[in-house]
Chains A and B, each alone.
Chain A
Amino acid sequence: MQPTDIRNPDYFHKVVDCQWACPAHTAVPEYIRLIAGRRYADAYMLNWQSNVFPGILGRTCDRPCEPACRRGRVEKEPVAICRLKRVAADYKGDIRNRLPRAPAHRNAKRVALIGAGPASLTVARDLAPEGYELVLFDTAARAGGMIRSQIPKFRLPEQVIDEEVGYILDLGVKTELGTTITSMKSLLAENYDAIFVGCGAPRGRDLDLPGRHAAPGHIHLGLDWLASVAFGHVKEIGRRVIVLGGGNTAMDCCRSARRLGGEEVSVVVRSGFAEMKASPWEKEEAMEEGIPILNFLVPKEFRVDDGTLKGVLFEKVAAQYDANGRRRLVPTGEPEVMMPCDDVLIAVGQENAFPWIERDIGITFDRWDMPIVDETTMQSTHPRVFFGGDAAFGAKNIIWAVAHGHEAAISIDLSCRGEDITKRPSPLVNLVSQKMGIHEWSYDNVVSDDLRYRVPHREHEIALSDIAVEVEVGFDEETAFAEAERCFNCDVQTVFTDRLCIECDACTDICPTDCITFTANGEEPELRRRLAAPAHDINQALYVSGGLKTGRVMVKDENLCLHCGLCAERCPTGAWDMQRFLLEPALAGHGCSHRPEKRAA
């Protein structure tokens, strides 16, 4: 293998699994260290820079970081990254004087933002301080988009939304709320310098089954129902409720129903439990609230008798896999199951709909009737129109919307400056030694043995009595510290300098997870088999040094490194050093495009 090029920012970035997995690439270990140091406001600001909605995401994020967390590969569970973000938000105090202000001078560029959800708000946050005039349109009366309309209050209190949406609106964003855009053509005619479409995937997918329209008022589309609950139009539901679907919307529906009078609420899913789209923790929390999840049942018919919903008829199926591993649901032939109920909530997916975009104005749609959008620049086939969030590539989640928003803001900024939007600004990267003394490091390298702490919940009796009562209480400071200490500090990298190594084996001997091997070089697949400990995961890089005195090379399997720094502590020559790797993805704004190109490695 060739020696690893650690000057390529991607190399160490990938080692920080959580940050790499995060669509917005938030520097997770860095903010966890700030939390451990009780620097909550600093931790909050780091998050705010990167993901715009720390308090909201700290309660609702889909957490792509946690399944990626290295800790989960060495012991049972990853660090509670998401809930630590909430800790930063909970204890930050007043940070308003640290936020950017609306600029005194405008740059005479106007940008329309369609939909006031997380994607548009991110674009607004990134562009407002640069002097752009931003006009935010939404059909709803208040900004927030799906954050406000779809996430139930027991998971996300309204004041958190108001606060974090407010920070953005206070930057001088012009709002046109309660306004529905009905024609892209006429909006384009208003000569905006750029238009950003962040209107989400607002349409719940329906189930066209017999009886679907025979009992109006008792069979609802989950998304619409959640919005009606959020805005206070719906305050109760029948005693027996069936929720159809296995995604996070289904989980929000069933738990909301439980709080609005649903005593016997069940979730019925076509697929198996493990294949459900809902996050594992959301399934868990639903079940803890006494909601059974029933799998391998396909709805066939809504049984309606005389305009009254009686129940839903299901067919039992089983999963069969063909030679390619593709799954098919095959009827088992068992008798159909009739489940009685008073209300049904359909949460089987959501769709995009752009009836308001004319098809002859230069915005091309693909065969699924989705706009063609560049995945890097977020630009549509119309040079002035950009997409982001669920509107761009279908339903994802808030953190993806934020990531799209950042990229779109960069594109809009470049485009308004007349620059090439395909030339993306490089991230800010910093790699600094953490050595303070012979065996002192500026990070806490003691590895905690604690298991994951559970976020305390309110008692069921209180939590289920009122939909506005937040069910999670959040970590107290002491638990937050203990949980923060579980973080391995994967951003503090083990950096190896081959010319200093005397091959004394001290690092190999001390390494608690047998990451380091000194051996003859070879091709990667063969080399992986010769290491001190199995290194099967080819997605986890091998760090290979240049040739050493004995002709061997140092090979480190990054997969299970605890970043405890013991290799560097036991190294007599400083060939190993612990260096903090900080990567901040570029954001739109002054000078971002003028950062020097990264040096060729």
Chain B
Amino acid sequence: MTFVPKPKLSHPELPKNRLGLTRRDYEGAVSTLCAGCGHDSISAAIIRAFFELDLPPHRIAKLSGIGCSSKTPTYFLGRAHGFNSVHGRMPAVATGANLANRDLVYIGVSGDGDSASIGLGQFAHAMRRDVNMVYIVENNGVYGLTKGQFSATADVGAKSKRGVTNTESSIDLAAMALVLGASFVARSFSGDKAQLVPLIKAAVLHRGAAFIDCISPCVAFNNHAGSTKSYDYVREHNEAVDSLDVIIGREEITADYAPGTVETVVLHDGSTLRLRKLAPDYNVHDRVAALAHIQDRERAGEIATGLLYVGPESKDLHENLNTVAAPLASLSDAELCPGEAALETLNAALR
């Protein structure tokens, strides 16, 4: 644990975004996680993504559950709203918050214990309801806070630090998210910011539940030979399906690619995702094929990463519920409680 505050001094040529903020303005407190934790790299990627998106920090809400991963919102976006919820209950709180104020940008950070065990049901419903949020699972395959027991995402055959082999089958959260109807599913690796930062940016811009399963090595308990979530193992077995560029707003696209190798996805706000295909014939819009590909690579002992699936952004939770356009939190008492006459009319309509 680091006790000293991070110096305020920064590189004098640090770039500023459109709000006049530097990347440092998106930081939080210094991490208290173990040195070298993959989660810290994910926090750094989140900081960079939000900085590059020119988002005002105070219009962001970060939510988490319990665990090492769920501590991390303290370490990024110090000026954003935050909610550290009960174990596994981040999705419910995020859903409620999103219902109350649809104008904020929501980022939920969870871990493999938080989302794949105690909060599996919560995770499932946030996905199927297509809550407009970024949902990142910082997946290290162990319970780090309780000294390294296998979690539900540990692969069969993986060895623990003490030499025990995992025999229970693992939950693949990306595959689950696909099955549950999430409209944006990606997988990445904390040690690959070139891949992770654009994915987070795309996830923020996407309307609906955007899920990122981010493999994040636990340096203390799951970074040894025999682990399938160590830095070395993931680097060796990482197979990206595509490489992503995010073009914010309606900037002109100038880069030139061979035809058929690039796919562009235009989002609701006009931003563009440009996907350079790394796996030939991979169709990012085909949910069934995506699932098949993930499982195929898993059988081959590889880890499929990148933007795995992005669906049409037709309906999110608010659209399905037909809520008003204004955030509920902004409605006045008179609007929320229109009085007896309005109740009478409503009741009459139901008779």
Residues in B neighbouring A447, C-beta threshold 8 A: 7-9
Distance between A532 CB and nearest chain B CB, rounded to angstroms: 9
B11 touches A571 (CB 8 A): no
Q: A439-B2, A510-B6 are in contact. Are A570 and B40 (CB under 8 A)?
A: yes
A512 touches B193 (CB 8 A): no
Cα-based distance from A561 to B31 in the complex (angstroms): 20
A569 touches B35 (CB 8 A): yes
B44 touches A566 (CB 8 A): no
Distance between A102 CB and nearest chain B CB, rounded to angstroms: 49
B2 touches A513 (CB 8 A): no
Residues in B neighbouring A503, C-beta threshold 8 A: 191, 231
Residues in B neighbouring A570, C-beta threshold 8 A: 2, 31, 35-36, 40
Chain A 162-186 per-residue mask, 1 if CB under 8 angstroms from chain B, else 0: 0000000000000000000000000
Chain A 437-455 per-residue mask, 1 if CB under 8 angstroms from chain B, else 0: 0110000011101000000
B residues 34-53 with Cβ under 8 Å of A? 34-38, 40-41, 43-44
Distance between B281 CB and nearest chain A CB, rounded to angstroms: 28
Cα-based distance from A416 to B235 in the complex (angstroms): 65
Cα-based distance from A201 to B22 in the complex (angstroms): 52
Size of the chain B interface, CB-CB below 8 angstroms? 35
Residues in B neighbouring A439, C-beta threshold 8 A: 1-3
B191 touches A512 (CB 8 A): no
B13 at the interface (CB under 8 A from A): yes
A509 touches B35 (CB 8 A): no
Chain A 351-367 per-residue mask, 1 if CB under 8 angstroms from chain B, else 0: 00000000000000000
Cα-based distance from A506 to B231 in the complex (angstroms): 13
B41 touches A505 (CB 8 A): yes
Cα-based distance from A549 to B233 in the complex (angstroms): 12
B12 at the interface (CB under 8 A from A): yes
A534 touches B6 (CB 8 A): no
B13 touches A504 (CB 8 A): no
A73 at the interface (CB under 8 A from B): yes
A504 touches B9 (CB 8 A): no
Chain A 526-551 per-residue mask, 1 if CB under 8 angstroms from chain B, else 0: 00000001100000000000000110
Distance between B165 CB and nearest chain A CB, rounded to angstroms: 23
Residues in A neighbouring B36, C-beta threshold 8 A: 502, 504, 506, 570-573
B65 at the interface (CB under 8 A from A): no
Residues in A neighbouring B190, C-beta threshold 8 A: 505
Chain B 1-39 per-residue mask, 1 if CB under 8 angstroms from chain A, else 0: 111111111111110000000001000001100111110
A560 touches B11 (CB 8 A): yes
B217 at the interface (CB under 8 A from A): yes
A509 touches B40 (CB 8 A): yes
Residues in A neighbouring B11, C-beta threshold 8 A: 513-514, 533-534, 560
Residues in A neighbouring B38, C-beta threshold 8 A: 504
Residues in A neighbouring B34, C-beta threshold 8 A: 572
Cα-based distance from A562 to B8 in the complex (angstroms): 11
Cα-based distance from A560 to B231 in the complex (angstroms): 29
A509 touches B43 (CB 8 A): yes
B9 touches A74 (CB 8 A): yes
Residues in B neighbouring A573, C-beta threshold 8 A: 36
A564 at the interface (CB under 8 A from B): yes
Q: Which residue of B lies closest to A73 (CB)?
A: B12
Q: Which residue of B lies closest to A560 (CB)?
A: B11
Distance between B38 CB and nearest chain A CB, rounded to angstroms: 7
Residues in B neighbouring A502, C-beta threshold 8 A: 36, 219, 223, 231-232
Chain B 196-233 per-residue mask, 1 if CB under 8 angstroms from chain A, else 0: 00000000000000000000010100010000000110
A residues 407-445 with Cβ under 8 Å of B? 438-439, 445
B232 touches A75 (CB 8 A): no
Distance between A309 CB and nearest chain B CB, rounded to angstroms: 51
Q: Which residue of A lies closest to B230 (CB)?
A: A502
Q: A502-B223, A504-B217, A549-B232 are in contact. Are A512 and B35 (CB under 8 A)?
A: no
B14 touches A514 (CB 8 A): yes
B2 touches A566 (CB 8 A): yes
Cα-based distance from A283 to B10 in the complex (angstroms): 31
Distance between B264 CB and nearest chain A CB, rounded to angstroms: 27
B13 touches A572 (CB 8 A): no
A533 touches B1 (CB 8 A): no
Residues in B neighbouring A514, C-beta threshold 8 A: 10-11, 14
Residues of B within 8 A of A (CB): 1-14, 24, 30-31, 34-38, 40-41, 43-44, 190-191, 193, 217, 219, 223, 231-232, 235
Closest 3 CB pairs between A and B? A572-B36, A447-B7, A509-B44
20 A/B residue pairs, CB under 8 Å, sorted by A? A438-B1, A439-B1, A439-B3, A445-B4, A449-B7, A502-B36, A502-B219, A502-B231, A504-B41, A505-B40, A505-B190, A506-B35, A510-B2, A510-B40, A512-B24, A514-B11, A533-B14, A562-B7, A564-B7, A566-B30
Other than the known A505-B40, A505-B41, what 8 A-B pairs have Cβ atoms closer than 8 Å? Answer: A75-B9, A447-B9, A449-B9, A502-B232, A504-B38, A509-B40, A562-B7, A564-B7
